[in-house]
Structure 1
């Protein structure tokens, strides 16, 4: 392998992708940020506005779950956006969406905790 081949293997050739794909990637990132803001607002609202449940700490668990999920999603959304952008620039396959199952499972768990808290109290 020549020096040029080795350099190409470690630094793939990049090109500017079609602007429509770049903008679509940005819109997807912004949708994740909107979801994050909704979870953050929901967590604060649960903690500040909802009357305490009969289950001790349930309100805090739901609020902290929402806020923690918001922090994880905001961070994950940035890294996913960056990874997709790099893949498009290098003509590589797009990465699998790890945020989607994480969000679904986490919101499902928070919903179950909330439902149990409401049913018990």
Structure 2
């Protein structure tokens, strides 16, 4: 059987119940889908507001894409820490990426609302 990667995750502890590992993987995929949605929304916002000629919309769009990039960057380490905790029978790590997404979404929403109010 081929070695599993990353070794620092799979090289410790015992194999957990497959249902828990699969649930952890689904959580990773959901976080990646959310990150992709943020990035797509940023691109759509940029395209939709490009004709206004106002640079503020480009900055807002870049901010939304940045939240997506941060969410994607946080997804794999979160998965790895959770998988390692499952394998070593330790408590799961805190859901700090969820806080990042929530704050990012609130800030992006407020910025868009303020931007729309200023343009209108």
What TM bracket, shorter-length normalisation? 0.7 to 0.9
TM-score calculated relative to the size of structure 2: 0.84
How far apart are the structure 1 equivalents of 2:90 and 2:45? Answer: 43
Structure 2 residue 64 is matched with structure 1 residue 66: yes
Structure 1 residue aligned with 2:20: 21
How far apart are the structure 2 equivalents of 1:92 and 1:58? Answer: 46
How far apart are the structure 1 equivalents of 2:65 and 2:52? Answer: 18
Deviation digits for residues 23-59 of structure 1 (CA, Å, limit 9, x no counterpart): 0000000000110110010011111122437xx4321
Contact 1:15 1:89 in 2 (8 A): yes
TM-score calculated relative to the size of structure 1: 0.83
Structure 2 residue 56 is matched with structure 1 residue 52: no
Return the index of the structure with the highest Cα Rg. 1
The Cα shift of 1:119 comes to 0.9
How far apart are the structure 2 equivalents of 1:61 and 1:99? Answer: 23
The Cα shift of 1:88 comes to 0.3
Change (3 A) 1:19 1:44: same
Deviation digits for residues 67-121 of structure 1 (CA, Å, limit 9, x no counterpart): 1111111110000000000000000110001011111111111111100111111
Change (3 A) 1:13 1:64: closer
Aligned alpha-carbon RMSD (Å) = 1.6
Where does structure 1 differ by over 3 angstroms across 4 or more consecutive aligned residues?
none
Which of 77, 97, 100 lines up with 2:98 in the alignment? 100
